[in-house]
Structure 1
Amino acid sequence: MNHSPNDLIMLFNDLFRDAFRTVLVRGDEEPEYLPAGSTSELAQIVFAHGYYASALHEISHWCVAGEYRRTLHDYGYWYCPDGRTPAQQQAFEQVEVKPQAIEWLFSVAAGSKFHISVDNLSGGGASDECGFRSRVLGQAESYLATGLPQRAQSFFDALKSFYGTGDNFSTAWRDDVRRVVPLYSAKELYEAN
């Protein structure tokens, strides 16, 4: 399956440009959210280096951000780059659960490969990678059971329609859970026997 970021730009902008005055934009550098500067401007979700996965991740952050946060540069969140201390990494992992859960659901809906990201290669990695994977999975499962936030649900549905994954989403989801959270899958199999 072809995964062009141009498709995500088209889908996102068709859904949200007019209703939320926000567009998805291919960037050359690091990702960034730029709120609208005036009533005639559009807010921009800039994804990194034209990467498909980066676009899905940045859209996920936008889907989580409330109305006030969408008026702030990068939603008003701190970002400490790679090389975080254990305390900084733990804080990072706490705020990344919901966006990564949504990104994972978007990825499966698009038929693309998702990777959990602890984003701390030179800082010692995750504070609790197994726990983080389990929390992201738990949040994604909760969204599937109770529904995604409204904007995320709209984009999720658009991805399933565009990529034709709606009929086999449940099977693809179960397969991806086994790939991304293998310890969870082994535990689930053990408890079933």
Structure 2
Amino acid sequence: MIGGWEPAHIERIASLESRRLAVLPVAGLSGDLHQDLGRGALAVEITGSLWGDETRDDFLAELRAKFQAGEPVDFVADIVKESELEQVLIEELSFEEDASAPEVFRYRLVLREYTEPPEPPGLGADLGVELDAELDLLAELGLDGLDLPAIAADVPQVGDLLSPVKEAADSLKENLSNAGSLLSPLAALFGGS
């Protein structure tokens, strides 16, 4: 049963369970080190066939509505009885008709175990309420410990930072202003003005 709906004429049902393993190569070690990251989501594949246009159309309407909604649906099957699988997402649909048997309609569904995501941490009005008294005390201690006028009084005067390089910059500017006249013979040679 998929969300209260039973796929008709099931020919095959298979489940696939896997572990998520991180493969970590280690220099000098024969083989690899594997880290177990837990069990992956269980997958169930169902294949079957139907006969007749009306049966096919009803089946497609029912299944596509569940698929397009993208919502988790309840799932019950004997093959997953011990897996504690309760809800699935319809991950994949495929349909097939063959000209050699025009009345036969084949389908394949892939269902993937759905796990409810955890609630995100809230940043409500009570954020830091338990720290209010401690934060106030720390703020008072910090500001009392600072002698702001004494800190500002010892700041040296900076002055004009560019004055040491001003003379060299003026000299460079004067020398480069004549560069255009040096290149005028080359411009005449290449037909420029």
When the two structures are superposed, what TM-score results if normalisation uses the length of structure 1? 0.21
Normalized per residue, which structure has more strand? 2
Normalized per residue, which structure has more helix? 1
Computing the radius of gyration over CA atoms, which structure comes out larger, 1 or 2? 2
